[in-house]
Structure 1
Amino acid sequence: MLALVREHAVAVQPPRALYVPYPFGAPLGRPLDAEHQHRVLAAALALLERNAPSLADFNDSEYIEQRGAPMQNSEVDTKPGCGPRLDANPATETTRVRQYYNQWVERRGRTTVGVTGISPSRFRAIIRFLEDYAAGKDADMRERPSHIPLGEWIRLCALDLRAMFSEAKMVMHPGVTSDEIDRWFWSETSVAALLVRVRDRMAASDDATLRGAAYGVAR
């Protein structure tokens, strides 16, 4: 088992698990780097030689160091035509980023946005919901299906926001890598800062379902 959230592996206690420090959707690490991905797989398969249960950490100090270093202002949307100036207000920021997301959809004819079923034109409603939740309010959305727990719904909202920002970034800066998108989003956007506040409230909850979903909202 490859674990993207170490806390989950500790709680579930699978027979063998390898914790990897990579973003959701990229458990093998660097895209298009076959040699590196083979090292991850080899480390995971090596756990078969250990007695169960066994939890190991995959050491990628270079990736952790790069991810932890915020991008400089000169690297982020400062040239004319490269993208919007990001805003301290998550709702305004989302509206500005959406114009680039719309260009992505027009050019590609596809998108990974849509797990909530809410149109990106209404993502400001998601932002208001998340802001209320982060502020400690009893927040919810009428769009949440009754069979989906609140924690899972928050995770889906986070996935849609991150997908829209990622696809918008690929229009702003063609050729940008997934690591660069990840670093830009988590170190430069107010939406990411909001998701971290939401995650912190979920992680501190007495509700086990909220705690379990917290690390799917923000790392």
Structure 2
Amino acid sequence: MALASVRAQAEKTRPPRALWTSAMLGRPVGEPEDPAFQLRIIRAALRLLERTDGPVILEDFPDDPPGWVDHPGWTAPGTDPSDAFAAELTAMLPLWQVAQARFGRTSVGLSFQAPEAWPGFVAALLDGGLPTVAALGTTALSARFLCDDIKALYGEAAQAVGPAPSARQVDGWFWRRTAAGGLLRRLRLVAMQSENNALKTVGGRFFVPAPWVEG
């Protein structure tokens, strides 16, 4: 029995049982912190194992995750979209700390750099340099994981206070309204023009999700 995030793929591969959900890629049972909704999906998937009308069964889960529902009037706290990245990041750090206390965890840390070091590392990349973090060994990995950390810190900070925004709201805010989002798009272009093939590859594939490349 498969949980399918891409319905066309399930139609092509034809597993014996598949349940398609509209959840985001990487979240096949819905949003974090919503065990009730996750349990509904798991139970619906397991019920497919009780059926005998195969050999192939492909069902659609009827409801969108609550994280798809935008909350009217939501704005991320503490950010002026006209700020430069370094100033904006300084404003985001206290909110990120509040978020860590609120949720008891963080996914920031892949880059092996403290946030205070990020602006300098990015500046070196934009100047055509090939800075490297010793723990990661290459510029390509150092840059990729730094971009992941920037996105993670902003996403966590955006949820520091108040009701949780939808995943789409956080993405729209980050890529349309923050200096960091614009910076990552610029960094992607610089990486793709680099003579360092590894940096060119990760820049094109991992710095900016496809829906936001031109946004």
TM-score, with length taken from structure 1: 0.60
2:85 aligns with: 90
After TM superposition, list the pairs within 5 Å mapping 1:140-159 onto structure 2.
Answer: 140-141=131-132, 144-145=133-134, 148-159=137-148
Cα distance, 1:109–1:198 mapped onto 2, change above 3 Å: same
Cα distance, 1:187–1:159 mapped onto 2, change above 3 Å: same
Q: What letter matches 2:112 in structure 1?
A: G
1:101 aligns with: 96
Q: What letter matches 1:101 in structure 2?
A: W
Cα distance, 1:147–1:106 mapped onto 2, change above 3 Å: closer
Q: What letter matches 1:137 in structure 2?
A: G
Which one of 169, 172, 196 corresponds to residue 207 of structure 1?
196
Asked whether the equivalents of residues 125 and 187 of structure 2 are also in contact (C-alpha less than 8 Å), the reply is yes
Deviation at 1:211?
A: 1.9
- Whole-angstrom distance in 1 between the partners of 2:162 and 2:122: 28
- Whole-angstrom distance in 2 between the partners of 1:27 and 1:101: 22
Deviation at 1:139?
A: 4.3
- Whole-angstrom distance in 2 between the partners of 1:194 and 1:167: 18
Instruction: Give the 3-state SS of the residue equivalent to 1:106 in structure 2.
Output: helix
Higher RCO (C-alpha under 8 Å, 6+ residues apart): 1
Deviation at 1:119?
A: 2.9
Asked whether the equivalents of residues 159 and 217 of structure 1 are also in contact (C-alpha less than 8 Å), the reply is yes
After TM superposition, list the pairs within 5 Å mapping 1:126-137 onto structure 2.
Answer: 126-134=118-126, 136-137=127-128
Instruction: Give the 3-state SS of the residue equivalent to 1:175 in structure 2.
Output: coil
Instruction: Give the 3-state SS of the residue equivalent to 1:210 in structure 2.
Output: helix
Deviation at 1:88?
A: 2.4
Deviation at 1:174?
A: 2.4
Deviation at 1:94?
A: 0.4
1:167 aligns with: 156
After TM superposition, list the pairs within 5 Å mapping 1:1-219 onto structure 2.
Answer: 26=26, 31=31, 75-77=74-76, 82-120=77-115, 122=116, 125-134=117-126, 136-141=127-132, 144-145=133-134, 148-214=137-203, 215-219=205-209
Deviations 1:24-44 (A, max 9, x none): x6375974695xxx9xxxxxx
**Unaligned runs of at least 5 residues, structure 1:** 3-15, 17-21, 39-65, 67-71
Asked whether the equivalents of residues 83 and 172 of structure 1 are also in contact (C-alpha less than 8 Å), the reply is no
1:54 aligns with: none
Percent identity, aligned pairs only?
20
Larger radius of gyration: 2
- Whole-angstrom distance in 2 between the partners of 1:103 and 1:146: 28
TM-score, with length taken from structure 2: 0.61
Deviation at 1:92?
A: 0.4
Q: What letter matches 2:119 in structure 1?
A: I
Task: Compute the RMSD of aligned alpha carbons.
Answer: 3.7
Cα distance, 1:87–1:95 mapped onto 2, change above 3 Å: farther
Deviation at 1:195?
A: 0.8
- Whole-angstrom distance in 1 between the partners of 2:30 and 2:189: 28
Q: What letter matches 1:185 in structure 2?
A: F
Deviations 1:105-155 (A, max 9, x none): 1222211111122233x2xx2122212312x332415xx026522111101
